[in-house]
Amino acid sequence: MTRDRKDLPKSPAAPAAVPESAYERSARKDKESRNQDEALEETFPASDPVSPFIPAKRPD
């Protein structure tokens, strides 16, 4: 995938999202889990809530 699932399509004529396969869903969930684990490790031993890094969009 060339963009994040939360990003809007680049143009109004962009094709609709294709349903993900079971393998793609599993891979996405694994990546989310790894990101969550990494964020937890970065906050340890602080008592702050876990906050995984999500980069902002580049200004045009």
The answer to whether residues 51 and 43 touch, using CB atoms and an 8 Å cutoff, is yes
Burial classification of residue 39, based on how many CB atoms lie within 10 Å of its CB (0-12 exposed, 13-18 middle, 19 or more buried): middle
pLDDT in tens, 48-60: 666 677 767 777 6
Burial classification of residue 45, based on how many CB atoms lie within 10 Å of its CB (0-12 exposed, 13-18 middle, 19 or more buried): exposed
Give all strands (DSSP E) within the chain, no chain letters: none
Give the number of other Cβ atoms within 10 Å of residue 20's Cβ.
Answer: 13
pTM: 0.47
pLDDT in tens, 19-48: 889 999 999 999 999 998 888 887 766 666
Tell me 13's DSSP state. T
